[in-house]
Amino acid sequence: MRNIIVDNLKQTPLEKQRIEIVERKGLGHPDYICDAVMDQISIQLSKVYLEKAGAVLHHNVDKSLLAAGEIEPKFGGGTVKQPMLFVFGDRATNKIDSETIDVEEIAIKAAKNWLKKNMRFIDPEKHVKYQSELKPGSVGLTDIFKRKGHVLGANDTSAAVGYAPMTRTEKIVLKTEQYLNSKEFKKRFPESGEDIKVMAFRNNNDLKLTVAMAFVDRYIQSEDDYFEKKEKILDEIHRFVAVNTDFESVDVKLNTLDVRGRGLGGLYLTVLGTSADSGDSGQVGRGNRVNGLISLNRPFCSEAAAGKNSVSHVGKIYNFLTYKIAQRLCDEISELEEVYIWLLSKIGSPIDHPAVAAAQVVMKDKNDLATVKQKINDLLDYELEHIEKFCLQLAEGKITTP
């Protein structure tokens, strides 16, 4: 029997609260790059382990630092004076029986492939140096993978929380960044770099968006050219948000640090389309939650999911699973207005039997929790019973952070 709790949450749904703040760090943000690359390293390691051992072996590649480089931006195109440094940590199995697994080569190749695929102006061979600090795991944690059982034991005592549905503010923040980094947008506005951050503040039905966007200097010929192109992009963001939301009023600001008359010092210019080329370093765990957002009004756990293994590390598994369960409950039970799912592990206990699995739900007006409580309980139980399939989908990269 699983310890499942279903509780009626007596609170005003976030959509109906006065104040809401939501952030998204976009594709080229240094923190996003760290999360995405380390997750790709985990996926590639899992692929090798599955091929050679028939199972995902111990690894937690959830530590990294992308140390900013140094550039000399210029109108018409600047130069990279010092490359970025990408440091990978933490632990990964490097031997299967007598065969050595070149963990460092797998990690560096995964990083280069991601950068080549997602960053138009970064040459992974020229603009980035790589340092691997991936070592074999401790005896205690690697032994979890040798124990028999339908599913592995949790490698940590940890908790996660996920929620659904997204509010209008959360949806437009996610959609806006994804649109600004779409192929369609980059074709129309090639001067727009991949490093984009969207911050939203909703006050009742009024929305304020502040967008930070790295401009690529090779497409900017002068200060006037910068501000002309910035104005066109700002108009396009206004248009997109207006079409995709129904807020009473929308105010959008772009690159608010800019100051006319200060030359290069008053503009947000990069050589490679990311502030990591000179202005900002990145780390795993400082970016978005697994649903692609940083929603300050919502509870969230401190675990960074990126790079953790998908068969024993609850910091990854429960992070993703809580959001999946919450969304499924909202999709299948119309009486629910808002759902929060909590999962707490106990180190060593099978991951399909958490210390507690809890659903806190806000009911729609005049609906009674008693009428749907068993259905919520059964769905939670079902998802935990089938967690092995879910873990495999994570390992194969079929479930990822947007």
Q: What is the residue-averaged pLDDT of the chain?
A: 95
Asked if the model's pLDDT at residue 178 lies above 90, the reply is: yes
- pLDDT tens per residue across span 118-173: 999 999 999 999 999 999 876 555 666 666 666 888 988 999 999 999 999 999 99
Same-domain pairing of 343 and 381: yes
Model pLDDT, residue 143: 64
Model pLDDT, residue 151: 85
Same-domain pairing of 131 and 163: no
The pTM (predicted TM-score) of the whole model is: 0.95
Domain count, the chain: 3
Model pLDDT, residue 137: 74
CATH of the domain at 265: 3.30.300.340
CA neighbor of 155 nearest in space, from 286, 382, 5, 318 = 318
Same-domain pairing of 162 and 127: no
Residue 25 lies in a domain: no
CATH of the domain at 123: 3.30.300.10
Residue 93 lies in a domain: yes
Residue 342 lies in a domain: yes
Question: What percent of the chain lies above the pLDDT cut of 90?
Answer: 92
Domain stops at, among 256, 283, 310: 283
Same-domain pairing of 304 and 279: no
Mean pLDDT of the region 30-44: 98
Question: What percent of the chain lies above the pLDDT cut of 70?
Answer: 97
Model pLDDT, residue 158: 93
Assign 3-class secondary structure to the chain.
CCCEEEEECCCCCHHHCCEEEEEEECCCCHHHHHHHHHHHHHHHHHHHHHHHHCCCCCEEEEEEEEECCEEECCCCCCEEEECEEEEEEEEECCEECCEECCHHHHHHHHHHHHHHHHCCCCCCCCCEEEEEEEECCCHHHHHHHHCCCCCCECCCCCEEEEEECCCHHHHHHHHHHHHHCCHHHHHHCCCEEEEEEEEEEEECCEEEEEEEEEEEHHHCCCHHHHHHHHHHHHHHHHHHHHHHCCCCEEEEEECCCCCCCCHHHHCCEECCCCHHHCCCCEECCCCCCCCCCEECCCCCCCCCCCCECCCCCHHHHHHHHHHHHHHHHHHHCCCEEEEEEEEECCCCCECCCCCEEEEEEEECCCCCHHHCHHHHHHHHHHHHHCHHHHHHHHHCCCCCCC
Same-domain pairing of 240 and 308: no
Model pLDDT, residue 141: 57
Q: In Å, how far are 38, 323, 337 from 163, measured between CA atoms? A: 24, 6, 11
Residue 239 lies in a domain: yes
Asked if the model's pLDDT at residue 258 lies above 90, the reply is: yes
Residue 84 lies in a domain: yes
Domain stops at, among 283, 300, 317: 283
Same-domain pairing of 81 and 129: yes
Same-domain pairing of 101 and 197: no
Same-domain pairing of 123 and 88: yes
- pLDDT tens per residue across span 57-81: 999 999 999 999 999 999 999 999 9
Residue 22 lies in a domain: no
Residue 150 lies in a domain: no
Domain stops at, among 283, 301, 324: 283
- pLDDT tens per residue across span 307-360: 999 999 999 999 999 999 999 999 999 999 999 999 999 999 999 999 999 999
Residue 402 lies in a domain: no
Structural domain harbouring 345: 4-15+157-167+292-395
Same-domain pairing of 162 and 298: yes
Mean pLDDT of the region 33-45: 97
Same-domain pairing of 161 and 308: yes
Q: Distance between CA 401 and CA 3 in Å, rounded?
A: 28
Same-domain pairing of 227 and 376: no
Model pLDDT, residue 155: 87
Per-residue pLDDT band for 211 (boundaries 50, 70, 90) equals very high
> Which range has the worst mean pLDDT, 19-28, 134-143, 294-303?
134-143
Model pLDDT, residue 366: 86
Asked if the model's pLDDT at residue 395 lies above 60, the reply is: yes
Same-domain pairing of 300 and 161: yes
Which one has a higher pLDDT value, 142 or 244? Answer: 244
